[in-house]
Amino acid sequence: MLFKYALPKFSNHTIVVNSLIAASTFTFIAIILGVVIRVTGSAAACPDLITCLEGWPFDATQKIVVPFLHRIFTLLSGFFILVSAFVAWKWSSNRHIVKLLIIAIFLFIFQVLLGLYLGFQISGADSTLLIGFVASENLRLLSAFHLTLSLTIMTLLLVATVFITSVHQTGFPIHWMKQTSSYTWISMATLIAVSLLIISGIVVSTSGISNSCRGWPLCEGLNLPLDLDGWVNLFHRFVTGLSVVLMAVLVVRAWFFHQNQKVIIVTSTAAGTLLLMQIFMGIFEFYREFPPYLQGLHIATAISIFSLLVILTVSSRFVSHNNGLSRSEYQHGHNRQGLLRDFLMLTKPVVVSLLLVTTYAGMVLGGKNLPSFDVLFWTLLAGAMAAGGSGAINQYIDRFDDERMQRTSRRPIPSGRLTPGEGLAFGVALCLASFYIMVAFVNLLAAFLTLAGMFYYVVLYSMILKKTTVQNIVIGGGAGAIPPLVGWAAVTGSLNVPSIFLFAVIFLWTPPHFWALALVRRKDYARAGVPMLPVVRGEAETRWQIFLYTLYLVGLTLLLPFFGLGGGLYFILALVLGGGLIFSAWKVWKESGNKVAWRMYRHSSMYLAFLFAALVLDVLI
């Protein structure tokens, strides 16, 4: 047999939903790449229909990468739209989904033809006038129409996805469409406002007319603009303000009356956070020129807001008639004591503090000096938000396990002091904001390292590794090892071999630290079904592994000076600290009972903080 296990069998509903999600995702990426082409003026760099180079090999150094990827993702989008329509027609009993997808297919065909026409027209235009499509007023109008069609196609796909998922989960009959709550109407109004915001924003940024309106609040102080370009800028500002007001209403209503409805509170909070970040990026662009990667992020953010609002609008049609809070429930829920403390506890502040110590050490070691105040402030702020947001999402994911564990049963979500939706929405908002702060005030590498750390902890560790393998802590330790890399990248803009050794130190520190805790709480982990080492392989093996990994860790810390990290002072301090940690680990190995394991757990936390403090001290003295 080639396979030991049979391939998993998926239900017809799962196949339809997965194909729709794939079609929506590829369409989303294709739209972003298409707008990046317009902003950067790279359409003419790819005249060949298939390879962009009329042959291979592909030269990624040329300006054809984005147009080439745009065509690839457009093909993938079209393929999955066809697949979605076929599987919906074959297996879905809901004919409305099929109708939506048939419309999407015809729009997609027209969209492709229009895109080819625009590409050929631009390829023949004056190369000095390509950026922003200012070579032709007709091309500008067609480009805006092209974008509108793209958003329409994605809207149809998202509506179909949410529709079939919600009908399957709620069992609502089709006549739900005749019922519309006030929240749905506000969502629809916000969606229209944001659509106008996106289109007007792209017209302003790609046509080069932003300089025609540099005043505030109007283009020339309190005077109305005198030309069409000024009115376009003014309209963009108006729909921005309208979008902010409507979005604020959505978010406030979600947090006050829809705490029990995860899709409402999480989607509205994410969209609201992204809109604030989008406006922030727009102001950033207003006062200083965007680098190309920030233009791409600005576009991706706008399309993300639009997508979230589509999901929110359709979802609210299903859930707004079910499980909403009554007035008495609202008053009871918002008279809760210690609400701010509960949100703080979601962030795991002790863990965040330790991660910030390692981040700061990475900054000092990378820059060989104290970092500037602005870089220090924004890096630590964004780092705290990223770590805290990841911790909140982790508590949402682990909420059922936390109920069964004595150590975690009093956390805000399992104890009922916060709803799961509130915890998840709070975590998502912090994570999103942290990434944008890193991009705007630090640098792109630090931002993507922060994003990688959040993904590593939330997805790879919390959702995949934690309950599937005894090596969960060993592999998952990489998430906590990323902060010093973020600090290093924040001040240098790059990474090198010494910075990787900082990662390795925390990577080796994580297993003995958490295995010591697992020894103390092994019954908790067993009840929750978490395959920690003491649960799966027993106490004796765990105690030996703690001692072994501690030897690896201390040995690595003593090698750091040979790779440019630390000098004589650090070496002496690391030797003393390492000797103490090895002694604690040896006692765990040789003595039974939870006291020595708990002492090792506490000792190892202080050890890591003091070790990185020694590295900083060695640089500064």
Distance, in Å, from the CA atom of 183 to the CA atom of 252, rounded to the nearest integer, reads: 11
Report whether 27 contacts 49 (CB < 8 A): no
Predicted TM-score (pTM) of this structure: 0.85
Q: Which helix (H) or strand (E) holds 298?
A: helix 292-319
CB 566 within 8 A of CB 615: yes
Rg (CA), the chain: 27
Residue extents of the structural domains in the chain? 9-171, 180-335
CB 213 within 8 Å of CB 230: yes
The DSSP bridge partners found for residue 220 are 223
Contact 306, 194 (CB under 8 A): yes
175 Cβ contact list (under 8 Å, min separation 6): none
Q: Are 449 and 290 in contact (CB under 8 A)?
A: no
User: Which helix or strand (DSSP H or E) is residue 436 part of?
Assistant: helix 420-441
- Burial (CB < 10 A; 0-12, 13-18, 19+), residue 301, is buried
Find where tokens 């103490």 sit.
580
CB 539 within 8 A of CB 526: no
Neighbours of 245 (CB within 10 A): 12
pLDDT value for 259: 84
**Helix and strand element counts for the chain (H, E):** 22, 0
249's CB contacts (< 8 A; 6+ apart) are 186
The pLDDT value given to residue 557: 96
| Average pLDDT for runs of 10 along the chain of length 621 | 38 78 91 77 61 52 71 91 87 76 92 80 50 52 80 90 71 50 88 86 66 64 66 81 93 89 93 90 66 73 90 79 43 62 93 94 93 95 96 94 88 91 96 94 93 95 91 91 96 92 95 94 90 92 95 95 90 95 94 91 94 94 83
Enumerate residues 6+ apart whose C-beta is below 8 A from 457. Answer: 390, 394, 476, 479, 480
Per-residue confidence (pLDDT) for residue 566, from 0 to 100: 87
pLDDT at 348 (0 to 100): 92
Structure confidence at residue 138 (pLDDT): 65
Please give the pLDDT value at position 99: 87
